Amino acid sequence: MALPKVGSIGEYIRDQRQQAKISLRQLAAAAGVSNPYLSQIERGLRKPSAEILNQIAKGLRISSQALYVQAGLIEDREPPSDVITAIRADANLSERQRQVLIDIYESFLKERRAEDEQTSQNAHPRHDSDEDDAPLPEEFLAALEPYAATSRNGNVTQETKEG
Amino acid sequence: MALPKVGSIGEYIRDQRQQAKISLRQLAAAAGVSNPYLSQIERGLRKPSAEILNQIAKGLRISSQALYVQAGLIEDREPPSDVITAIRADANLSERQRQVLIDIYESFLKERRAEDEQTSQNAHPRHDSDEDDAPLPEEFLAALEPYAATSRNGNVTQETKEG
DNA sequence: TCGCGCTGCTTGCAATTGCAAACGCGGTGA
DNA sequence: TCACCGCGTTTGCAATTGCAAGCAGCGCGA
């Protein structure tokens, strides 16, 4: 595949750098990359990795996201939901907790939608395709077990294999 | 030290993929990367470039930003734990759903904090510590009833974490 | 028992990243 | 004139990415 936007990201970086009135070497030092490499990036000769991109963004004191958008690495589309974005960005949650919260949230949305349409029906019509709707995986319940005191088996499996 | 969480991004991807119930090869095809490479990424043996990361996010139908955050590539200077704010502002939720979500979120935070303090301690089951404040009111379980039905057939416990 | 298809994993290897060192250019002071 | 300093750029080269091909294991129908 060609590199259609590599040039634009380079131009963008150079633009930002010049607006900040700092030299290539200064930015390179601030970003922790070598000056030759930064030079090549700015001229579109190299496609920097995400890591380098992030460091450059830091060195420029600009939003990483702006840079990623410029690089075409983040679709500019609005996030589907602020709730999900907030959950995903919350470092206070464990991976599993995050997923559980999102699952619950999404199922709430579905429930809400179903309530709207389901004026006369009362039984669950078994959604035609489950390819897209995640019906709360077992992790959901597993993670909730500690809270759901009424649960049958106290199989908690609260392993925090993190770190 | 540039990327201390290369492993976690792999785990995150694998987690998302398994929750989507698709095979490694399927995701690889959907993302347009080779399956061996994806395998190595998931196991933390490779640090994928931003481009690859973006394609994987697309293949997983998840937010690219979420992946970048997971990869530690977007350390947005604003890590606002505005989960609650987002929930409150979400017009798609009912009032009760909103309250349940917030309750779950807060109890997750508590659990997380408890885990932190407990990590250095010996295996100390903290089940007995639910006396100070019941984390989840009955609304919680009530709201979840319809979903909990999916696990009544006693399958579950299918952890299938990497072996 | 085969064979087929699927799962994920290992193995070389071409292409690329990213860097250290060196280059040419322009401005400044002695 | 020279030496010096900074600028951006060019030049090899080690390390890494990312892939094509192949391997081992599992489930299923003949």
Of A100-109, A134-143, A153-162, B53-62, give the lowest mean pLDDT range.
A153-162
CB contact under 8 Å between B76 and A97, yes or no, is no
The most confident of the ranges A13-17, A59-63, B90-94, B145-149 is A13-17
Convert A72-108 to b/e letters by CB count within 10 Å (16 or more is b).
bbbeeeeeebbbbbbbbbbeebebbbbbbbbbbbbbb
**% chain B with pLDDT above 70:** 58
Q: Which helix (H) or strand (E) holds A18?
A: helix A6-19
Q: How far is CA B57 from CA A40, A88, A116, B70, in A?
A: 28, 14, 31, 11
Place of tokens 């904090």: B113
Per-residue pLDDT band for A22 (boundaries 50, 70, 90) equals: very high
**Cβ of B80 under 8 Å from any chain A Cβ?**
yes
Enumerate the CATH 1.10.260.40 domain ranges in chain A, comma separated.
Answer: 6-70
- What's the number of CA atoms in the CB half-sphere (13 Å) around residue A149? 9
Higher per-residue pLDDT: B101 or B4: B101
pLDDT of A85? 75
pLDDT in tens, B22-45: 999 999 999 999 999 999 999 999
Q: What is the domain class of B6-71 according to CATH?
A: mainly alpha
Closest CA to B46 of A120, A51, A96, A134: A51
pLDDT in tens, B85-138: 778 767 677 778 888 888 888 888 777 666 555 443 333 333 333 333 334 444
**Which of B15, B64, B74 lies at the smallest CB-CB distance from A95?**
B15
For the domain covering A6-70, report its CATH number. Answer: 1.10.260.40
**Which of A85, A94, A156 lies at the smallest CB-CB distance from B112?**
A94
**Cβ of B101 under 8 Å from any chain A Cβ?**
yes
Instruction: Locate A80 and state its tokens.
Output: 């589907």
Instruction: Locate A11 and state its tokens.
Output: 């131009």
Give the span between the Cα atoms of A5 and A73, in whole angstroms: 10
The answer to whether residues A135 and B21 touch, using CB atoms and an 8 Å cutoff, is no
Give the span between the Cα atoms of B85 and A20, in whole angstroms: 35
pLDDT of B54? 86
A14 CA, D20 C1': Å apart: 38
Enumerate the CATH 1.10.260.40 domain ranges in chain B, comma separated.
Answer: 6-71
Per-residue pLDDT band for A113 (boundaries 50, 70, 90) equals: low
CB contact under 8 Å between B68 and A49, yes or no, is no
